[in-house]
């Protein structure tokens, strides 16, 4: 299960999301900055930070806390 955190440069909410992911003991994830990508900008521009679960396509939009992150990570993958 690969995880991606979509975020922006100089984003206070993104910084908070990183803290929450650490509190939730989230497994390793990739950080993708959407600022210079028109496609990602149009998809995530007003939604960042967003935690994306590769493979399943599931996403957890901000705001989230450690409990929501753990629930998201432990939920069965649809399929």
Question: What confidence tier does 79 reach under pLDDT thresholds 50, 70, 90?
Answer: low
H or E, element range at 3: strand 3-7
Question: Three-state DSSP class for 48?
Answer: coil
* pLDDT score for 28: 96
Convert the pLDDT of each residue in 21-75 to its tens digit: 999 999 999 999 999 999 999 999 999 999 999 988 999 999 999 999 999 999 9
* pLDDT score for 2: 92
CA atoms within 13 A of residue 27's CA, in its CB half-sphere:
8
* pLDDT score for 1: 59
Which are the contacts of 23, defined by CB distance < 8 A and separation ≥ 6?
A: 66
Q: Is 3.40.30.10 the CATH classification of the domain at 3-74?
A: yes
pTM to 2 decimals?
0.93
């Amino acid at each position: 299960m690969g995880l991606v955190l979509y975020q922006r440069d100089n984003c206070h909410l993104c910084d908070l999301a990183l803290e929450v992911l650490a509190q939730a003991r989230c497994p390793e994830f990739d950080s993708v900055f959407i600022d210079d990508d028109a496609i990602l900008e149009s998809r995530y521009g007003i939604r960042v930070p967003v935690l994306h679960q590769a493979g399943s396509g599931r996403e957890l939009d901000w705001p989230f806390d450690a409990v929501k992150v753990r629930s998201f990570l432990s939920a069965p993958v649809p399929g």
